[in-house]
Structures are given as C-alpha cells and as structure tokens.
Chain A
C-alpha cells in the first residue's frame, strides 16, 4: 500500500446519490478469485453501451477525454451502499482512483477504502456540488488537491476547504498501515481476553 499524503489530480464528478457497489462493479465483472484486474469492470453497466460489450458509452463521465487520468472521484449521498463486496474498492483503485470525495458513504465501503489505501472523504453536500461545478469548467486545468496532512481540499489555486476524517483512518492512510499487523502486536492481550472469556462463556469456543 502506498502512503497517502498529498494528491493532486484530475477529479471526475459522478455526483449521484446512492451509487451502490453493484453499479461500481457489477457481479458479472468479478470474474476471478483475485483482488486485481478489476479496472475493466468498473462502472461497467454505465460505462459501456451494452451489457457484456466493451464499446464505451460516450455520455459516461469516465469516457470523457477531459477526465482522462482522473484519480479522484466525486460522489453523492450514501456512496458505496449495497453489497459489501470489496471488489468495488479494488476496481476503483485498479482504475487509478486514490480518493473518493462524497456527500456521505456507506460504512462498509468506507472501511474497505481505508484498508486499501483509498481515501474516503466526506464533505458537505453543497461543498461537493460546488467542487463538481468548479472542476467541470475545465477538468484538466482545474485539478483537485487532497492534502491528508492538513485535512484540506482545494481546486486549482482556489482557497482550500477543510474536511474532517476519522483520525484512525487518517493515520492508517498516511502511514499506509496494515491493520492486521497492528492487531497481531496485541496478540498476548487478545489471548488473555479469550482465556478469561472462555471461562465465562465456554459454549462460544467450539
């Protein structure tokens, strides 16, 4: 995982509410038992003209040349709702996205982002709409900067907006920490807790 500190990149607006993980990566595009190689399937239902085809639908934002190389995605309310499939984050990351700025997130999706080094940033509804408008005026020349250290977002040289993020998520992103490694350091404490618990609730331990 790459540390996430400061990212300046083209941002693609897809500011619809309740974009579900079936839309982010349809089940039919999850073809292998692997976390990689999912970029092709990202938003397949909207990106291509027909189900199963690879002919781009020109009306979809990610097929617009102005947003080529986008690494930031702008979303609406409850982004990533529905299925818990982590493939949604893997597909976004595989496509190149490192940050999602949305009005709100589904909790499972948000946690999945952090585990994969993708920054899920919640901003007020108006701020997201304003950001989307500012970007759309000239996407390539109005890149967005996400500063995880300062917790700010800025479009081109406009004034930076502050954002709030779960401090633990922020630290994990900045330091590219692996949660399993961190928890394994606590193994003695976990073992002692389980030992005590086993006496209180023996039926739990099969």
Chain B
C-alpha cells in the first residue's frame, strides 16, 4: 500500500474520528443515521435511480401499499431495458409484453412525481450512462438502483450500489436503506496499461484472477497509477465489472477529471453550491494508513487484450491464448461446471481463441457504450469492412452519446463498415424474449455477462473490449486488435 502515492498525503481527520479510514468508510459514516443493531446501519440515500425493467414494479407496489415517495426530486427514472433500439421505435416492443412495462413505468413515475427520461427524450439512455451525463451522480453521494451494475457510478467517487426491488421501495419511501457495512478491499493497479489494452481487459484480467466471487460483499477501492491514468469512460468500465466480482460496489477517489466532467451538468450543483461541493469533494480520499481488510495488487503491464471462452466472466484469457484444459484453469471449479461450459460453448481444450469464427459482433451496454468506446472502435473500423456473414451492431449507451457520435461522423464509419447503428438502450446485452442473437450463435460482445442464454437462446457469448470486438468483426473470427493500425491505408 505504501507504493501508492495517493495514501501518502494525509487528509485531515474529523474530530470525532481519529482512526484512519477508507474513503468508502467515511462516506458510510457520514450517511449513517443510526445503528440498528446486529451490525446493520440505517443509511441515508441521496439518489434513487429506476428503469422500466425493475423500477416499475417497485413504484407500483409502493403505490398499492399507499406509501408515497419521500423525496421524489432525488429520484430519476429512465427507459432502457425493454425498449427496442431500432430507428423509429415506440411503445410497442419486440419483447411480447414490453409495452406493459413501458406504460406502467410512465404512469407510475408521473404519479410519483419522479423525473422520467422517456422514449423520445434527448436525455434517454442506459441508466448508468445517463446518470453522470445529467450530473445526477456526484462524488460523496449515496446512490442506489435496482440494478446490479449501479457500481459503475463509483467511478465518480460516489457510494453507488445495486439493490433489489423491495429494497428500492424502502429507499423511495424512507430515503434510507438498511445495510450492513461492507468490508473494504483495495485493488491496486501499478504501472500503465499498454497501447491497445483497455479498462475492459483490465477488468477481465482481475476477474479471471480473483474469480466471480472474489470480492463477494466487499466494497472495492480501485487505486494506483493505472487507475489515475484511465479516462472516465475507462473508470466506469472497470467499476461496472465489479458486479462480476460479486462486490457490494466499487469506488475510485474523485479527481480533477471528475470535477471538470460534472461542472455545468443539468443536475450537478451550480453557483455557490458548486464551490462548496467542490471544496468538499477535494477532501474525498482514503486516509494515509487506512486499513483495508482485503487487498490485491496487479501490474498493468501484464494485462493483454482479454476474451472469455466460457460461460462465466472468470473464464477470461488473453486473446492470443488457447481454450484451457481443466488443469490449466486459473480458478478451480467443479469438473462438471467446466465440462458444461465447454459443451455449451462448443469448444475443445487447446483451441486458439483466434481460430473461432463468429456469427455476430455487439458493441454496447453499460460496460462499453460511451463516446470513448465508440471512438476507439471506429478508429479500427474506419475504411474497412465487416467480414461477410457477420452481423455487427453498435448501440450507443445514451441518446446523447448517439448525438455526439453522429456529430463526429462515427455513425457513418460504423455503417460504412457494415455495422447497424441503433437508438440507445440495453438492447442485446440481454435477451428478454424480444430481439436476440440466433440459436447457438457465437457472438463477440462488449457486454459484461456471458451467462448461458444471456444474449439469446443458447447464444455463445465471448466478452471483450470494443477494440477486440471491432477487430473480430472485421476478421470474421476472434482477433487480437493490436496488430491492426488505426485507419485503413
């Protein structure tokens, strides 16, 4: 830990607390209204986010119980999960009952007095993408959402975590949740990522090493040179994948990059409030000598572009690697699970990943659908063509990302290369009975979960970075993005 410059500068200790604390502990203490006994605290919640997939049911059930939303102006709702992403979409969806989710959400948000980013609203998009865009998340805030990838927003120095629907009702009705203080875990990443290696690769590298339960229930703080060097898109990608470590959440101490990003956003503080907020945000860091119950350290230079071979995010290996034999697994698991994964993915041990032909390529989701992700993919696609027979789709994470990309001409690059260019939403990150990839198709995808049938009926998902997905789409098989120079000559 002493290797990390961040913790060598002392931040002042509050007078009631002299033990050095981690950033997350400080935020927890600051929001703790009371100790409820048995180690459970009542925690003040500053922001509640909802989407039509799990939010409607919470709002409806709250309404049925006659419980009003305590602070409707601190709650926000979007349409992202069930909505179609075809151009010209409306309330009717390919998912057979999707329309019911959309209308129920609209009615419930309206009657609760909650700001809704509806279809057609230029602020609409994936909940974790639009929250920072709108300045809803900010350093030091507690934020909950009935969605496991809420941890994405820890990239802004907020304590943001996913909860269930009933807990969401609790948060809406009382502006609090009952929760057990999570154990702090420090994941330090030293050095710098090499060119062509991204936050997504780093995330998969860490998950492969620690396993999908490697941070179960813990609050991860990512720190170190490689983390400070990541841009905000990359930090969000990394924090997003903390859900795949079963973490309570993840956080990164906020810095200048965060303050500059948030300044002037619609729901961010303004005027004198901004100055007060920013002064406070600048103090948000772990104290020197703060004790983390768990630590793990990684060398950024050792990270390669990563791709998953199996049905769990921990089944990730370097793109130039081969499907591991049971004895070569980085994380032990039951023989039965390993055999199942191989069978499901239709793979043989020893096969090079780059020998696998793909049916489809997907760029999108709350993991990798921000403007930086799209720019980096477009650089590889510029002047090139997707391999014949490969279905390639790009779904911007928000309507605002889409507009920005179009202003930069990225949509034309994607389309000229043979990608479909969509409206924003979760789209084929998950299969809800609507649009999906075909039966047993092999898909390379920038999403976060390669679970069985996650992207379609028995779809074989390989997780990777936008660069690797773009390079693979061009090659028609899984490909290492590194040898490809930007722009065709």
Q: Contact mask A154-185 → B, CB, 8 Å, 1/0?
A: 00000000000011100100000001100110
Contact A168 B36 (CB under 8 A): yes
Chain B: CB-nearest residue to A26: B453
How distant is the Cα of A33 from the Cα of B64 in the complex, in angstroms? 13
Question: What residues make up the interface of A, taking CB atoms closer than 8 Å to B?
Answer: 16-18, 20, 22-23, 26-35, 45, 51-52, 76-78, 81-86, 89, 104, 106-108, 111-112, 115-116, 166-168, 171, 179-180, 183-184, 186-187, 189-190, 193-194, 197, 201-206
How many Å from the CB of B339 to the closest CB on chain A?
A: 12
How many residue pairs bridge A and B at CB < 8 Å?
Answer: 181
Contact A187 B451 (CB under 8 A): no
How many Å from the CB of B374 to the closest CB on chain A?
A: 25
Confirm or deny: B246 has a beta carbon within 8 angstroms of a beta carbon on chain A.
Answer: yes
How many Å from the CB of A83 to the closest CB on chain B?
A: 5
Interface residues of B in 93-130 (CB under 8 A from A): 95-97, 100-101, 104-105
How distant is the Cα of A187 from the Cα of B104 in the complex, in angstroms? 29
- Which one of B65, B147, B451 has the highest number of Cβ atoms from chain A below 10 Å of its Cβ? B451
**Known: A30-B432, A33-B60, A190-B174. Contact between A206 and B74, CB under 8 A?**
yes
Chain A: CB-nearest residue to B57: A33
Contact B453 A104 (CB under 8 A): no
How many Å from the CB of A22 to the closest CB on chain B?
A: 5
How distant is the Cα of A92 from the Cα of B276 in the complex, in angstroms? 48
List 12 interface pairs A-B (beta carbons < 8 Å), by A numbering: A26-B453, A30-B432, A31-B433, A82-B451, A85-B54, A111-B164, A112-B167, A180-B174, A186-B33, A189-B33, A190-B33, A197-B44
Contact of B176 among A33, A183, A202 (CB under 8 A): A183
Confirm or deny: B357 has a beta carbon within 8 angstroms of a beta carbon on chain A.
Answer: no
Contact B431 A84 (CB under 8 A): no
Contact B162 A193 (CB under 8 A): no
How many Å from the CB of B204 to the closest CB on chain A?
A: 16
How distant is the Cα of A202 from the Cα of B302 in the complex, in angstroms? 45
How distant is the Cα of A190 from the Cα of B101 in the complex, in angstroms? 32
Contact of A104 among B44, B147, B213 (CB under 8 A): B213
Confirm or deny: B248 has a beta carbon within 8 angstroms of a beta carbon on chain A.
Answer: yes
Confirm or deny: B289 has a beta carbon within 8 angstroms of a beta carbon on chain A.
Answer: no
A84 neighbours in B (Cβ, 8 Å): 54, 146-148, 162-164
How distant is the Cα of A82 from the Cα of B74 in the complex, in angstroms? 27
Q: Contact mask B207-223 → A, CB, 8 Å, 1/0?
A: 00000110011000000
Chain B: CB-nearest residue to A44: B453
Confirm or deny: B173 has a beta carbon within 8 angstroms of a beta carbon on chain A.
Answer: yes
B138 neighbours in A (Cβ, 8 Å): 203
**Known: A28-B431, A190-B174. Contact between A202 and B213, CB under 8 A?**
no
